A and B are shown apart, each in its own frame.
Chain A
Amino acid sequence: ETGVTQTPRHLVMGMTNKKSLKCEQHLGHNAMYWYKQSAKKPLELMFVYSLEERVENNSVPSRFSPECPNSSHLFLHLHTLQPEDSALYLCASSQDGQGRTEAFFGQGTRLTVV
């Protein structure tokens, strides 16, 4: 398998549920990212991991909790979400985390909070 793979592709959860999004990259990259894509809004960078260390948290609410156990895997743990958290969550990876290298994106997880 190649590229960036996200699971599940679709997720419906209640506001009191706890769920996790998974991302796996098979590109040998050492930086990984979570982006949020909401309707009518630009993509928002949520978290950046480089060499398994979180290097950026863009003021994301604590109900979103990322985890990067190794350079190939990235999780986003969700709990007590709100309906406005419904969005497409995109995972991406890049080599070295340098600005000149492009990010490769997964197909996303479509999250609906009910």
Chain B
Amino acid sequence: AQSVTQLGSHVSVSEGALVLLRCNYSSSVPPYLFWYVQYPNQGLQLLLKYTSAATLVKGINGFEAEFKKSETSFHLTKPSAHMSDAAEYFCAVNGGTSYGKLTFGQGTILTVHP
């Protein structure tokens, strides 16, 4: 069984501030982990993924995430928020099952204030 918990359904930051979106997972096998972003009326776009290589993963648009097995976490960060980062972010896990079956968290809406 696998599950994802995103702490905080809404996060608000000022432009230029640090972005931290939290994700904790549960998986019975070593997981593959993903962060996706969704802009209004759009599909999901991959930001980055962890597939058991480096624990610090760099993605697009200046985002990165660190896999911490001891904490079962995969938090998403960006040093300096930009207005264009405002969107909904989803953490997802594939606990080694076949066919790319992803289990998603409930999503975190990021608001960026000028």
In the complex, the chain A residue whose C-beta lies closest to that of B34 is A102
CB-CB under 8 A for A42 and B99, given A105-B43, A105-B44 = no
Is A31 in the interface zone, CB < 8 Å from B? Answer: yes
| Contact among B41, B45, B96, B106 for A41, CB-based, below 8 A | B106
Q: How many residues of A contact B (CB 8 A)?
A: 29
Interface residues of A in 33-54 (CB under 8 A from B): 33, 40-43, 45, 48, 50
Q: What's the interface size class on B, roughly?
A: 20 to 34
Write the nearest CB–CB distance from A29 to chain B, whole angstroms. Answer: 9
Number of A-B residue pairs at CB separation under 8 A: 71
In the complex, the chain A residue whose C-beta lies closest to that of B102 is A103
The answer to whether B45 touches A55 (Cβ under 8 A) is no
How many angstroms between the C-alpha atoms of A92 and B46 in the bound complex? 12
Interface of B is mostly: loop
Most buried by B among A48, A50, A55, A102: A102
Is A86 in the interface zone, CB < 8 Å from B? Answer: no
Q: Which 5 A-B pairs have the closest CB atoms?
A: A99-B94, A105-B43, A97-B99, A43-B104, A94-B100
- Where the two chains meet, the residues of B that have a C-beta atom closer than 8 Å to any C-beta of A are 4, 32, 34, 36, 41-46, 49, 51-52, 90, 94-107
Query: Can you list 29 A-B pairs with a CB-CB distance of less than 8 A?
Result: A4-B43, A41-B106, A42-B4, A42-B103, A42-B104, A42-B105, A42-B106, A42-B107, A43-B102, A45-B102, A45-B103, A48-B101, A55-B99, A97-B98, A97-B99, A97-B100, A98-B98, A98-B100, A100-B32, A100-B51, A100-B52, A102-B49, A103-B44, A103-B100, A103-B102, A105-B43, A105-B44, A108-B41, A108-B42
